[in-house]
Amino acid sequence: MFQEKRPETLIDSNGLRLDGRKLDQLRQIKLEVGILDKANGSAYVEQGKNRILVAVYGPREAHPKHIALPDRAVVRCRYHMAPFSTEERKSPAPSRREMELSKVIREALEPAILSEIYPRTTIDIFIEVLQSDGGSRCAAITGASLALADAGIPMKSLVSACAVGKIGGQIALDLSDLEDKYGEADMPVALMPGFNAITLIQMDGSFTPDEFAKALDMAVESCKQIHEIQKTALKEKYLSIKEEAEEKEESEGSGE
């Protein structure tokens, strides 16, 4: 059985964390849009060691029909961790945690989706965590909102998410799995940056009121940073389509 070693300290004498980051530093983030052909929209997220794939289908006819709503689309979300996504094999059957995360991720995205435009339909969001290392619900929200945009689903705003926590008595951004396990607190936050509106806030552990204010500011600022990376990822997809179309036009022109 895999035996994890408890780190001696989460912050070294230079104020750096286990992976060399500063307290207010995000992990490396890579976002890609439109990577699955079969889905209406898709995205791939890397945040530190997290590797997450999101596929969006819809709006499409509600099935089974009785779940349809007369005034808006039904948004459904499934967060699933692959059996090989953790150190020890995870059961492929849906766990209580995955059911809870599916619900909170859906609730973090719903305020942004203009679901009233598509009554009697469903919008399905499938999240597959291929590798997890703490903060996977936030990375999943960031990716799901990109996949929704890629599917052409009208939204008020993208949703950007990041967790902030407390390790070694200090507020720290974007906790890894080890920091989450051996730290004192973890607070995932999702934001609609255009509206400065928080759509998810959860808390595991505790903060003093001052720590809470500092942590929330840090999370909101980092969500805004993530929002910029999301916008770049969306633009890159459309620039590559434009380049492809131009190349095609050129080759067709030269073939004449």
72 binds ligand ADP (CB under 6 A): no
Q: Please say which residue, 88 or 256, places its beta carbon nearer to ligand ADP.
A: 88
137 binds ligand ADP (CB under 6 A): yes
Among 135, 143, 165, 193, binds ligand ADP (CB under 6 A): 135
Cα 208 to Cα 161: distance, rounded to the nearest angstrom: 22
DSSP state of 90: P
Three-state secondary-structure class, residue 50: strand
One-letter amino acid identity for 139?
Answer: A
Q: Please say which residue, 59 or 135, places its beta carbon nearer to ligand ADP.
A: 135
Residue window 92-131: x/- pattern of binding to ligand ADP, with contact defined by CB under 6 A: -----x----------------------------------
Q: How far is the CB of 133 from ligand ADP (least distance, A)?
A: 5
Q: Please say which residue, 59 or 188, places its beta carbon nearer to ligand ADP.
A: 188
Q: Which residues contact 127 (CB under 8 A, 6 or more apart)?
A: 52, 53, 54, 77, 78, 79, 80, 102, 105, 140, 143, 144
Among 150, 179, 180, 211, binds ligand ADP (CB under 6 A): 180
Q: How far is the CB of 136 from ligand ADP (least distance, A)?
A: 3
Cα 218 to Cα 59: distance, rounded to the nearest angstrom: 35
Longest dimension (CA), the chain: 72
Q: What angle do CA 121, 146, 79 make, to 5 degrees?
A: 70
Binding site for ligand ADP (CB under 6 A): 86, 88, 90, 97, 132-137, 177, 180, 188
